[in-house]
Amino acid sequence: MKLVRDTWLVFSRQMTLVLRNPIWIIVGLTQPLFFLLLFAPLLRPLFGDDAYQIFIPGLLIQLAIFGTMFVGFALIAELRQGVIERMRVTPVSRLALLLGRCLRDIVQLLVQAVALVLLAIPFGLSVQVENLLLTLALLAIIALLCSAVSYGIALALRSEDALGPLVNAVSVPLLLLSGILLPLSYAPGWLQNIADLNPFSWAVTAARELFAGNTGADTVWQALLIVGTIAFAGVAWAARAFARGIR
């Protein structure tokens, strides 16, 4: 239970820091708002009234990936500031140092996601509560995966200059191969085959099924299982990096 307690301690400190620097919340919310206001209207002629129903789930997944992929930057800043070293000489659980931060990232993401959904409702979006909750669970798992991996990489590289390009190099193909911007049913066969290897494309498909009201669709549990498994592996890897890098 020390792990839970320590995770909570790290999480509360991280939340305090976020709340004292609300600029990040505002930036985090305006980005999806831009997509909602400036990009979604382009889809209307293509998809008619379904435009938001198709686009918002993808946007949520994108938010979960890109909102958390870069969290490693904050860790590098903390390493430089010496706060990590200060934590390391205490008996605090090393895993808690990782999980507390991931938890902060998840909470931050879920707040943004809920805000985005609420904003889209006046535009004609509709979703049942249980389907929304399932989508949020999926988003939380993605956020856990991306933030843990980002922290793990940050710890290995210890340099902002190296982290930025690396994360970009990984995330752009992931984004393009996920069907976030446009459904992959428009893609040629070979592109669809590659996209099938991208766990996030499963997540996007699942989220669209949920927003279409198909709670029982196979892709829903498949996506949860796939992303869940990878998230578990990602956290295990990052936890090892934490245990070794900051033993």
Partner 1 sequence: MIQTRGLRKSFRTRQGLVEAVRGVDLDVKEGEIFGFLGPNGAGKTTTLRILSTLLPPDDGEAIVAGADLRREPGEVRRRIGYVAQGGGTWDEVTAREELVMQARLYGVSRAEAKQRAAELISAFQLESFADRKCRTYSGGQRRRLDIALGLVHRPRLLFLDEPTTGLDPQSRAHVWDEVRRLRDEGMTVFLTTHYLDEADALCDRLAIMDHGTIVARGTPNELKREIAGDVITVGVTGAGEQVLKLFEAEPYVRDLEPVGDRLRLYVDDGATAMPRILRVLDDAELSLASVELHRPSLDDVFLHKTGRSLRDEAA
Within 8 A by CB and 6+ apart from 41, the residues are none
Q: By CB under 8 A, is residue 240 in contact with partner 1?
A: no
Q: What is the 3-state secondary structure (H, E, C) of 82-97?
A: CHHHHHHCCCCCHHHH
Minimum CB distance to partner 1 smaller for 9 or for 182:
9
Contact window for partner 1 (CB under 8 A) among 6-14, 26-34, 40-48, 124-132: 6-14
Write down the least CB distance from residue 24 to partner 1, Å. Answer: 12
Distance, in Å, from the CA atom of 226 to the CA atom of 203, rounded to the nearest integer, reads: 9
Write down the least CB distance from residue 213 to partner 1, Å. Answer: 44
Site string for partner 1, 7-26 (x = CB under 8 A): --x---x--xx--xx-----
Write down the least CB distance from residue 90 to partner 1, Å. Answer: 4
> Hey, what are 92's tokens?
């605090």
Kindly report the number of other CB atoms within 10 A of residue 6's CB atom.
Answer: 21
Write down the least CB distance from residue 73 to partner 1, Å. Answer: 15
Q: By CB under 8 A, is residue 193 in contact with partner 1?
A: no
From residue 3, give the alpha-carbon distance in Å to each of 88, 152, 236.
Answer: 15, 19, 15
- Which of the residues 91 through 130 are near partner 1 (CB under 8 A)? 91-92
Write down the least CB distance from residue 109 to partner 1, Å. Answer: 21
Site for partner 1 (CB under 8 A): which residue of 27, 45, 48, 90? 90
Kindly report the number of other CB atoms within 10 A of residue 133's CB atom.
Answer: 12
Q: Would you give the distance in Å from CA 48 to the centre of its chain?
A: 28
Q: Would you give the DSSP letter of residue 107?
A: H
Residues that bind partner 1 (CB under 8 A): 2, 6, 9, 13, 16-17, 20-21, 81-92, 247
